[in-house]
Amino acid sequence: MSVKEWHPGKIGMLWGVSLIVFLVLLSTFASLGRTTALIIWFVLTTPILILTWQWFSGKERQSITAPVAVPQGVVSATTPLTKTRVSALQRLRTPAPRSEKAGYIAIIVVLALHVVGLGWGLAEGVATGHLGAGGRALLVCTVIVACLVTFALIRRPPWGYYVLFAVLWLVWLGYIWVAATNAAGVESSQAGAMLWWATIDMLFVAYLHRRRWWFGIDVPVSVLEKSPEGGWFVLFVVALICTMLAEALVLAATRL
């Protein structure tokens, strides 16, 4: 049975187990600090989040009767342009048109800046001797991730969608972590900037979800020539609220 056919109870069970693991990690790593526990939990939660998003995508496709999945890479002629306004959920369900590439280009630029910046910092740390074996291992992992992301962005295989999703998710967590643990406090301008960047990153995740047919996942019969109007503000508000709640969770966990 595929993930898309799972009962909602299985998804709830996974997140219940994740919560138990989170509590166990907090108690286990009490002597080493909450930071280690949160980092481990974030990494372990990434596969669960991907499975949840895959399940959500399957349920979403089943709820739409007009589009029917066709073989990978096959998309029919675009449908006529409509001027109807849609809700946030309907916008999230609408495949992103091929002509609208601004969001995809923005994702490429953001990921490139993060990977290059991280790789440059690690390489400089290794060269100056400030980083040991752990730093070298992290540098190698960064290079591998950079290669996977580049291949996923250019060739767009089905697994590339989940690679990009996981990387954007980790970038979102990184922004939240920096905002919550900022030395100047959560009310500082630096923490505020990280909060806004995390919100924008979550919007990138939503756009990537709409663009998943480019990777051969849930390929629709037709794609609109232009995205429908409406829904953006609500998506932004939801992304902002989720980001603020995640920051509050990290802040509370680090201060226990």
pLDDT in tens, 107-122: 888 888 888 888 888 8
Whether residues 85 and 114 fall in one domain: yes
Average pLDDT of the segment spanning 77-88: 56
pLDDT in tens, 12-68: 888 788 778 777 777 776 555 666 666 777 777 778 777 776 776 665 555 544 444
Q: Using CA atoms, how far apart are residues 162 and 154, in angstroms rounded to an integer?
A: 14
String of DSSP letters for 18-80: HHHHHHHHHHHTTTT-HHHHHHHHHHHHHHHHHHHHHHHHHHHHHT-SS----STT---PPBP
Whether residues 202 and 100 fall in one domain: yes
- The predicted pLDDT at position 30 comes to 59
The whole domain housing 53 covers 1-63
The residue among 39, 63, 87 that closes a domain is 63
Average pLDDT of the segment spanning 70-89: 54
Q: Picking from 47-56, 64-73, 165-174, 217-226, which range would have the lowest pLDDT averaged per residue?
A: 64-73
Query: Is residue 210 in a domain?
Result: yes
Residue that has been written with the tokens 């800046």 in this structure = 113
Instruction: Give the length of the chain.
Output: 256
Query: Is residue 70 in a domain?
Result: no
pTM: 0.68
Q: Encoding tokens for residue 66?
A: 């007009």
- The predicted pLDDT at position 31 comes to 55
Average pLDDT of the segment spanning 219-241: 82
How many domains are contained in the chain? 2
Instruction: Fill in the amino acid letter for 80.
Output: P
